[in-house]
Chain A
Amino acid sequence: MSMDGCSRIDDAASYVLRAMPDGEWEEYELHLRGCAACAEKVAELGFVSDALLSGVPQLSAPPAIRDSVMAVVRAESELLQAAGASADRPPAARRSRRLRFAVRPLAAVALATVLLALGIGSGMLLTGDDGSPTRTLTGETVAGTARLHIADGAAKLVVAGLPPPPRGRIYQVWLDHPNDQQPPQPTDRLFSMSKHGRATVDVPSVEDVSAVLVTDEPIGGSQVPTGKKVITVRVT
């Protein structure tokens, strides 16, 4: 027994530093429920571990992270709003346990719908705050995922998991039009993939566009597609 009243008091530091293997961490968490000495020590040292989180050299977060996080957040937010306020409102205290579980699936359905829209490829039509249509469309790719977020006629292509273009080439965005025998219309939107395998590209207006395409082209882009088509997002 330690002077602090419990033989496991030294484990408090390992616990707050998360230095315990996972199984042991959970086991100590159970111990804390019945041991006032250890619980008090964890509370005391927890402040220090929180402070340590702030004790690293401060850097600016790359803007690309913000773009990809907010693209997902906005898409999910729109779906949650469309599902109605009850979807994410905490259940009232007086409701029975059975009713609480009845309400939760609304949020689950909304989230599942988000995952479906973002992950498997079906498009989804929603309405923005101002009544304008917003959509997220999933494209066909040779690898990874490609999603086109459309709001107010503007579109953003979010690509993940696509290999970088071949050496000396770059990806170029094209717009295809319905009932048009002409080759796709070139855009000046050229991009490569980040080291992390992601890219976010603003696409010019997709009004009257039947598909957004991406091919690999020589550096500087082309006027007609010359490379392999790697992404096709059909705008229906």
Chain B
Amino acid sequence: MQLVRRGEAEAFEVVYERHSSAAFSLAYRMCGSRAAAEDVVQEAFLSLWRSGARYDRARGSVRTWALGIVHNRAIDSLRRSVVHDRRRASDEGLEERFEARERTEVEVARLAESEEIREALLTLPPEQCRVIELAYFGGFTQTEIAAMLPAPIGTVKGRMRLGLEKLRAQLGGLREVMP
């Protein structure tokens, strides 16, 4: 990242190669369309390039920082959407719709990690899983979620907190291995 801070394009290209697939996966998961996901990823990486100097290693890995920017951009994009069409593609078979390629060992490890996280989500009580999904991947605010369910806003907040605490207990081991 020091080289990226100095404005070296080759160094940034390495960062892009390492994290672009995870970024696109997240953006596609949230936006539900390839075109919107492409927009989000492009905006996010240009933002990342231009704000490289603000990366603070003490606050997490480059991957977490990059995905955080993608997440924020995707939420901004979803909340800008006039139609508010949040229909998302089914996860099933998504991989087959995109060009398959060989996976490196790191990617295989991340795939396993990704599956572990999804499995952990499925162990949550459905009402807790739903509010987390709607907020984090759907980009909905707590007020919108309360109106959709419907449920009091305090209940929505409580479910989010309980759900995250359970996930934390289950995923504690990942803290040691996450890049």
Question: CA–CA, A125 to B129, complex, Å?
Answer: 55
Does A40 lie at the interface of the complex (its beta carbon under 8 Å from any beta carbon of B)?
no
Q: Which of A11, A13, A19, A58 touches B25 (beta carbons < 8 Å)?
A: A58
Known: A17-B132, A18-B136, A73-B13. Contact between A54 and B114, CB under 8 A? yes
Taken together as a complex, chains A and B put the C-alpha atoms of A17 and B164 apart, in Å, by 9
A53 at the interface (CB under 8 A from B): yes
Give the Cβ gap from A20 to chain B, nearest Cβ, in Å: 6
- The number of chain B residues with a CB under 8 A from chain A is 78
In the complex, A57 Cα to B22 Cα: how many Å? 9
Closest to B100 in A: A60
Chain B residues near A85 (CB-CB < 8 A): 6
Q: Which of A66, A74, A111 contacts B20 (CB 8 A)?
A: A66
Chain B residues positioned under 8 Å from A56 (CB to CB): 25-26, 28-29, 91, 114, 118, 137
Say whether B53 faces chain A, with CB atoms less than 8 Å apart.
yes
CB-CB < 8 A to B149: which residues of A? none
Residues of A close to B141: CB separation below 8 A:
19-21
Closest B residue by C-beta to A80: B7
Interface range on chain A: under 10, 10 to 19, 20 to 34, or 35 or more? 35 or more
Q: In whole angstroms, what is the CA distance A123 to B129 when docked? A: 53
Asked whether A59 lies within 8 Å of B160 as measured between CB atoms, the reply is no
Whether B16 and A45, one on each chain, are in contact in the complex, defined by CB atoms closer than 8 angstroms, is no
- Residue A12, interface by CB 8 Å: yes
CB-CB under 8 A for A195 and B34, given A60-B24, A72-B46: yes
The contact string, 1 if C-beta is below 8 Å from chain B, for chain A 30-44, is: 000000000000001
Q: Are the C-beta atoms of A50 and B68 separated by less than 8 Å?
A: yes
| Residue in A50, A88, A111 whose CB lies within 8 Å of B53 | A88
> Nearest-CB distance from A38 to chain B (Å)?
11
Nearest CB in chain A to that of B44: its residue? A69
Contact across chains for A58 and B95 when beta carbons are under 8 A apart = yes
Q: How far does the Cβ of B64 sit from chain A's closest Cβ, in whole Å?
A: 5
Does A76 belong to the interface (CB within 8 Å)?
yes
What's the nearest-Cβ distance from chain A to residue B26, in Å?
5
> Using an 8 Å CB-CB cutoff, how does the interface string of B112-137 with A read, 1 for contact, 0 for none?
01100110110000000000100111
Q: Is the CB of B9 within 8 A of A77?
A: yes
A61 adjacent to chain B (CB < 8 Å): yes
**Scoring A residues 69 to 87 as 1 if CB is less than 8 Å from chain B, else 0, what string do you get?**
1101110111011000101
* B135–chain A nearest beta-carbon distance, Å: 4
A1 at the binding interface (Cβ < 8 Å)? no
Contact A88 B168 (CB under 8 A): no
Whether, in the assembled complex, A51 has its beta carbon less than 8 Å from a beta carbon of chain B, the answer is yes
